[in-house]
Amino acid sequence: MKTDLTDTTASKINKALVLGRRAIGTPAVGMVLTLVIVTDEENAYDALRAASDAAHEHPSRTLVVIKRVSRSPRDRTTSRLDAEVRLGADAGTGETIVLRLYGDVVDHAQSVVLPLLLPDAPVVVWWPVNAPLDPARDPLGALAQRRVTDTYACEEPIRELVARADAYAPGDTDLSWTRITPWRSMLAAALDQVDCEVQSVEVEGEEYNPSCELLAMWLADRLDVPVRRTVSDGPGLTAVRMDTDCGPVVLDRADGSLANLSIQGQPGRAVALKRRETAELIAEELRRLDPDDTYASALRYGVDRLNAPAKGDPAGEDGLAVAAPVGTVAKAPAKDAAREKTPVRKAAAK
Amino acid sequence: MSSSNPLRDPADRRLPRIAGPSGLVIFGVTGDLSRKKLMPAVYDLANRGLLPPGFSLVGFARRDWEHEDFAQVVHDAVKEHSRTPFREEVWQQLIQGMRFVQGTFDDDEAFERLRGTIEELDKAQGTGGNFAFYLSVPPKSFPVVIQQLKKHGLADQSSGSWRRAVIEKPFGHDLRSAEELNAIVHEVFAPDQVFRIDHYLGKETVQNILALRFANTMFEPIWNRSYVDHVQITMAEDIGIGGRAGYYDGIGAARDVIQNHLLQLLALTAMEEPASFDADALAAEKTKVLGAVRLPKDLGRDTVRGQYAAGWQGGAQAVGYLEEDGIDPKSKTDTYAAIKVGIDNRRWAGVPFYLRTGKRLGRRVTEIAVVFQRAPHSPFDTTATEELGSNAIVIRVQPDEGVTVRFGSKVPGTSMEIRDVSMDFAYGESFTESSPEAYERLILDVLLGDANLFPRTEEVELSWKILDPIEEYWDQHGTPAQYPAGTWGPAEADDMLERDGRSWRRP
């Protein structure tokens, strides 16, 4: 069921929701969260489709906030809110409200979203593109427990990563980080199988892919060894090579789906490491709504501390100055914990 | 698995629990359970990235198959029955570790080949000597297979590796046979390496009983004799015995279901809060409450058994139990059993637990209903509360997993009239559309060595101690009551509750 409302308000939208539910005979709501998607008209369709696929796992109320571009002074001064309320079969497992904001109200989107949040349930904001540089202080971001950005989708991923580290607040997360969960899990499993100490690491992947940097920073942060980031033609991440005191451990994925894990002294093994769809990433993101400390710790390690990639991104220089002060203060406890672990491990290995 | 892995961090909750290097050997791999549940579960685990690289699956059966034939069978089983979509690259990962060993259980050569296969896998796949043996075989073959494993050194754990045995119900047919079976298994495998699968315990809703009770504050204060009137635990099936005549006749519903599933559900519902959520603490509480179960004095009065007679089940004609193929027409086997037990402790004294199970009942359903006492005083007059029943919390185990709370509510209108309404929590509505299958969870737990969800020897033996006197009484007294297929059991069962002033819920 679909209801179109033009030039409307949040309370009228709420009314339409209640009427709609009554009309299709499902007044009971089992939705567990509100997902707010902030996007432009261009990316709205794909984002909403990914969200409704993810909603199979997490029934939710999805609010799509589309900020329309005003093209004349007159447009800018008149403000208008149009809404499309979708329920039942049209909205998959939850409810979807597409909000189109015109003119002045674009800057006050939180006033539209706030009355439409589910009572008591957590709020997740997702910016498929054009995420604010400081998500937690964004008026919409401030409503949410979880703020999902995607540095993969921006012009200068490295600069963006530095800014994210700078502005990090608990609850921030990035789809570039979500993308590497299978890699991280496979690398951890690989180290489960050997009793060796890692001495250096190389992370290889396509250019302009912040996932490679995040993976490299995570490894550097956890292992406390030098990590090199090198560039290949992709797709995505292509290989991680860990040099250990008992030979190399290499996870190599040339084709973007089936990887090969080779460990010195052990047979090579195929492992499935398919690049995932956005819907799967969002579904994973919604599974846990508490702050991701591991992400914070990896992010704050700092891109500049990786053995600088050959391409010489100018953003690296800026990042150094911006990231250092904030990073050192807030990172201290997490780093200590990581350091503490290392000696224990060395002792056990010997 | 080395706990010193610097990439592992308990705070990093995105990383799943992946089993360490290991393999699974399935005996009786051509059986239904294996094709419909085990193989798909292995694939689903791989698809979710929870199996280690190099995970190996070995099938052992009499069929004259090559590795490729076996892989094809697994492939078909996975395509047909797996929960998650089929993905070629996951399949490519799995197929590298798939082996088939042809032989019978008394064939020494076959077990030598099996040992060779395992050694080969250790080299080719890096399984590190860690293997679980899943005995999906008839109970009479248990001792042979276990002895063969011992004889050929397959059960020997070398340093740093493990060998585990996974066994399916029935765990014996009475206390004595259960003890014998345990002795046979424990002679070869250490008790903590033996995993008894009760697939009910792998179900999300069953694990949720503990979450519901011990993670919340609003249920536990009323979860006792001061508020609870009685508890009904039901497991009903709409099917008959199908092709299982050989297994079922002589065993019956009580041994097949009450001894394991229902008493485990009872234990989880009635136990005290465990000190922690680890296997030892859980087992301690479950053992305590099973040990406190008291049988009724008059077994003739407070137990009922029945047999389904011919009837109509959901629009299809069904034959009676005694007319089923392969069943002795004079069989006294119960296809329906209902018993009343008490629990002798401070929390539950005087609260009856009614357990019932049966085949060819109204519909397939498993649920635990905690029925509360009526309000001690009602300010409303009797006409207002005429339609008000007892409050209840119903944990729906399957299908349509969830929790229902029943309470009274005013009917809209000018007069005061109170009627029962129900408030529903459905798993499918609030959580992932596809919860993992019980077998996925249990197989992963076996590989991880996590024994939380597996009943222990003591629990199995205590359950038989509860059931044995009832079975003995039934053997010596009377015959099963007949009930038409497709109904909710014999009239005697209704009478049994009526004498207590109660009635069965219609699930």
What is the per-residue pLDDT across A226-277, written as a single tens digit (0 to 9) for each?
999 999 987 889 999 999 988 899 999 988 888 888 888 777 888 888 888 8
CA-based nearest distance B386→chain A, Å: 27
Residues A82 and A138 in one domain: yes
Handedness of CA B276, B281, B283, B288 (dihedral sign): negative
Interface test with B, best of A185, A194, A258 (most B CBs within 10 A): A185
Judge whether B211 is closer than 8 Å to chain A, CB to CB: no
Interface test with B, best of A176, A266, A299 (most B CBs within 10 A): A266
Model pLDDT, residue B131: 93
Residues A222, B6: C-beta atoms closer than 8 Å: yes
What does DSSP say about strands A2-5 and A80-86: parallel, antiparallel, or unpaired? antiparallel
Residues A218 and A139 in one domain: no
Q: What pairs with residue A99 in β-bridges?
A: A65, A83
Q: In A20-163, which ranges are E strands?
A: 33-39, 60-67, 80-86, 95-102, 123-126, 146-149
Q: Which of residues 86-105 of B touch A (CB under 8 A)?
A: 87, 89-90, 92-93, 96
Chain A residues with CB under 8 Å of B4 CB are 344-345, 348-349
The three-state DSSP-derived secondary structure of B42-74 is HHHHHHCCCCCCCCEEEEEECCCCCHHHHHHHH
Model pLDDT, residue B434: 62
Q: Are the C-beta atoms of A243 and A264 separated by less than 8 Å?
A: no
Chain A residues with CB under 8 Å of B125 CB are 267, 269
Chain Cα centroid distance, residue A136: 14
Can you tell me the distance from the alpha carbon of B91 to that of B197, in angstroms, rounded to the nearest whole number? Answer: 26
3-class state of residue A9 by DSSP: coil
CA-based nearest distance B22→chain A, Å: 11
Cβ contacts of B99 within 8 Å, gap of 6 or more = B56, B57, B58, B59, B67, B70, B117, B120, B121
Q: Which of residues 273-312 of A touch B (CB under 8 A)?
A: 273-274, 284, 288, 290, 292-294
Nearest to B92 among A56, A222, A270 (CB): A270
Q: Is residue A341 part of a domain?
A: no
Judge whether B484 is closer than 8 Å to chain A, CB to CB: no
Can you tell me the distance from the alpha carbon of B121 to that of B22, in angstroms, rounded to the nearest whole number? Answer: 10
CA-based nearest distance B88→chain A, Å: 9
Chain B residues with CB under 8 Å of A195 CB are 2
Can you tell me the distance from the alpha carbon of A320 to that of B493, in angstroms, rounded to the nearest whole number? Answer: 78
Q: Is residue A344 part of a domain?
A: no
| Domains delineated in chain B | 23-168 (3.40.50.720), 201-498 (3.30.360.10)
Q: Is residue A298 part of a domain?
A: no
Residues A269, B430: C-beta atoms closer than 8 Å: no
Residues A7 and A138 in one domain: yes
Residues A271, B8: C-beta atoms closer than 8 Å: no
DSSP state of A305: G
CA-based nearest distance B14→chain A, Å: 7
CA-based nearest distance A271→chain B, Å: 5
Model pLDDT, residue A337: 42
Examine the fold and report which residue of A278, A304, A337 is the final residue of a domain before the chain moves on. Answer: A278
CA-based nearest distance B12→chain A, Å: 6
How many domains are there within chain A?
2
Can you tell me the distance from the alpha carbon of A265 to that of A268, in angstroms, rounded to the nearest whole number? Answer: 9
Q: Are the C-beta atoms of B104 and B110 separated by less than 8 Å?
A: yes
Q: Which of residues 433-472 of B touch A (CB under 8 A)?
A: 433
Judge whether B23 is closer than 8 Å to chain A, CB to CB: no
Q: What pairs with residue A173 in β-bridges?
A: A148
Per-residue tokens: B438: 């019980």
Model pLDDT, residue A342: 40
Judge whether A185 is closer than 8 Å to chain B, CB to CB: yes
Cβ contacts of B374 within 8 Å, gap of 6 or more = B229, B390
**Residues constituting chain B:** 507
Q: Are the C-beta atoms of B484 and B310 separated by less than 8 Å?
A: yes
Residues B433, A56: C-beta atoms closer than 8 Å: yes
Q: List C-alpha distances in Å: A181 to A55, A84, A187, B12.
A: 20, 35, 10, 10
Per-residue tokens: B101: 């060993």
Per-residue tokens: A309: 């990639």
Interface test with A, best of B1, B9, B12, B48 (most A CBs within 10 A): B12
What are the φ/ψ torsions at residue B504 (nearest 5 degrees)? -70, 140
Residue B238 annotated in ligand binding: no
Model pLDDT, residue B83: 87
Residues A186 and A138 in one domain: no
Give pLDDT tens digits for B220-242.
Answer: 999 999 999 999 999 999 888 87
Residues A265 and A204 in one domain: yes
Answer yes or no: B75 catalytic: no
Residues A7 and A145 in one domain: yes
Residues A251 and A141 in one domain: no
Cβ contacts of B131 within 8 Å, gap of 6 or more = B22, B23, B24, B25, B58, B118, B154, B162, B163, B164
Examine the fold and report which residue of A234, A254, A278 is the final residue of a domain before the chain moves on. Answer: A278
Q: Are the C-beta atoms of B254 and B305 separated by less than 8 Å?
A: yes
Model pLDDT, residue B347: 95
Residues B15, A184: C-beta atoms closer than 8 Å: yes
One pLDDT digit (tens) per residue for chain B, 507 residues: 445 788 888 888 888 878 888 999 999 888 888 889 999 999 999 988 888 888 999 999 988 888 889 999 999 999 999 988 898 888 988 898 899 999 999 899 999 999 999 999 888 888 888 999 999 888 888 888 999 999 998 888 887 889 999 998 888 889 999 999 899 899 999 988 999 998 888 888 888 899 999 999 999 999 999 999 999 999 999 888 877 777 788 888 999 899 989 999 999 999 999 998 888 999 999 999 999 999 999 999 999 999 999 888 878 888 888 888 888 888 889 999 999 999 999 999 999 999 999 999 988 899 999 999 998 888 888 777 777 889 999 999 888 788 999 998 888 888 888 888 888 887 766 665 566 788 999 999 999 988 888 999 999 999 999 999 999 999 998 889 999 988 999 999 999 999 999 999 888
- The span from the first CA to the last CA of chain A, in angstroms, equals 66
- Give the residues of chain A that fall short of pLDDT 70: 25-30, 90-93, 308-350
Residue B62 annotated in ligand binding: yes
Per-residue tokens: B323: 């007319």
Residues A67 and A200 in one domain: no
Residues A52 and A122 in one domain: yes
**A-B contacts (CB, under 8 Å):** 128
Cβ contacts of A229 within 8 Å, gap of 6 or more = A202, A203, A204, A205, A212, A213, A216, A306, A307, A309
Model pLDDT, residue A332: 40
Chain A residues with CB under 8 Å of B3 CB are 348
Range of the domain at A234: 181-278
Model pLDDT, residue A38: 94
Half-sphere exposure of B211 (CA within 13 A, CB side): 9
Per-residue tokens: A106: 């674009």
3-class state of residue B483 by DSSP: strand
Q: Is residue A161 part of a domain?
A: no
Q: Are the C-beta atoms of A249 and A223 separated by less than 8 Å?
A: no
Can you tell me the distance from the alpha carbon of B142 to that of A297, in angstroms, rounded to the nearest whole number? Answer: 52
Residues A208 and A256 in one domain: yes
Q: What pairs with residue B103 in β-bridges?
A: none
Judge whether B330 is closer than 8 Å to chain A, CB to CB: no
Can you tell me the distance from the alpha carbon of B336 to that of B254, in angstroms, rounded to the nearest whole number? Answer: 8
Can you tell me the distance from the alpha carbon of A218 to that of A212, in angstroms, rounded to the nearest whole number? Answer: 10
Residues A15 and A141 in one domain: yes
Judge whether B46 is closer than 8 Å to chain A, CB to CB: yes
Model pLDDT, residue A340: 41
Task: Please give the order of strands across the beta sheet that includes A247-252.
Answer: A227-232, A198-206, A237-244, A247-252, A258-263, A269-272
Chain B residues with CB under 8 Å of A178 CB are 14
Q: Are the C-beta atoms of B353 and B339 separated by less than 8 Å?
A: no
The dihedral region occupied by A324, where left means phi > 0, alpha psi between -120 and 50, and beta the remainder, is alpha
Nearest to B4 among A182, A261, A345 (CB): A345
Q: Are the C-beta atoms of A286 and A124 separated by less than 8 Å?
A: yes
CA-based nearest distance B189→chain A, Å: 25
Residues A123 and A191 in one domain: no
Nearest to A192 among B1, B13, B429 (CB): B1
Q: Which residue of B has its CA nearest to A266?
A: B126
Q: Is residue A299 part of a domain?
A: no
User: For the CA atoms of A301, A305, A311, A313, what is the dihedral angle to 10 degrees?
Assistant: 70
Examine the fold and report which residue of A231, A255, A278 is the final residue of a domain before the chain moves on. Answer: A278
Q: Is residue A36 part of a domain?
A: yes
Judge whether A321 is closer than 8 Å to chain B, CB to CB: no
Q: Is residue A91 part of a domain?
A: yes
Interface test with B, best of A271, A282, A346 (most B CBs within 10 A): A271
Q: Are the C-beta atoms of B174 and B463 separated by less than 8 Å?
A: no
